[in-house]
Structure 1
Amino acid sequence: MMVFVVTLLALVLCVTIINLLLTVDVIRQLRLGGGTAWTGIESPRTSLPAGSPC
């Protein structure tokens, strides 16, 4: 039971971090007025790598 709770908490935390990163990235792109916010080329720091476990 404890392992299930820890896994669930880790998953929720990971999703929350991803949502925060995406929200900050979109706000930054909107503030700059860039129309290509979804490609991820302009912001490589906030884009997750392909082999990310999250």
Structure 2
Amino acid sequence: MAGLGLPEILFVLVAWVVPAVAFFFLIYWAVRLAIRHEGNRALNARETRITDARDV
């Protein structure tokens, strides 16, 4: 059984590792953006309720 040579290692690195890392960061960014958006939405809803209560 022959060991992996440099060309095989580079192929695996380029074909699998780089896209996997890029996909991970894409998902990470999307989740962070969604969490930030939900936090802002909850804050705006809370401020709207406070303002509505004062207007009545």
TM class, shorter-length = 0.5 to 0.7
Count of aligned positions: 34
Q: Which residue matches 2:36?
A: 18
> TM-score, normalising length from structure 2?
0.59
Gaps of 5+ in 2: 1-18
Off by >6 Å, runs of 4+ in structure 1: none
Question: RCO higher in 1 or 2 (8 Å CA, sep ≥ 6)?
Answer: 1
Gaps of 5+ in 1: 35-54
Higher helix share: 2
- Structure 2 CA distance, aligned partners of 1:5 and 1:31? 39
Structure with larger Rg: 2
- Structure 1 CA distance, aligned partners of 2:29 and 2:47? 27
Identity of aligned residues (%): 15
Q: Which residue matches 1:5?
A: 23
> TM-score, normalising length from structure 1?
0.61
